[in-house]
Amino acid sequence: MDQLTDPVIQVASEIVRYLEEHPDASDVSSGIRDFWLGGFPMPKGSWVLDEALDRLVSAGVLMQVLLPGGESIYRLIKKT
């Protein structure tokens, strides 16, 4: 599967695109799916979004903050 057809890369790219326009945004995964990716045709299954978020955290693009209830908030790591 190449980058043009890999759904994880497509979703990760859309998240980055959203954050370029809204650099102060932060949200949980359900909010990212519903609001950041609201008009984006999401592939079936939440694993795609979960994997995209994991890759962006691993790449140092997103910060993941674990909340007391077990959910995480994601936000852009701003480069200085």
- In this prediction the pTM is 0.87
Question: pLDDT tens digit string along 17-61?
Answer: 999 999 999 999 999 999 999 878 776 667 999 999 999 999 999
Query: Where do the structural domains in the chain lie, given as residue ranges?
Result: 7-76
Secondary structure element (H or E) that encloses residue 74, with its range: strand 72-76
Secondary structure element (H or E) that encloses residue 70, with its range: none
Looking at the domain that runs over 7-76, which CATH code has it been given? 1.10.10.10
What pLDDT is stored for residue 67 in this prediction? Answer: 94
What pLDDT is stored for residue 3 in this prediction? Answer: 55
Per the listing, tokens 């497509």 go with: 10
Q: In the structure, what pLDDT confidence band is assigned to residue 6 with cuts at 50, 70 and 90?
A: confident
Quick one: DSSP state of residue 33?
I
What pLDDT is stored for residue 35 in this prediction? Answer: 93
CA distance 13 to 56: 9
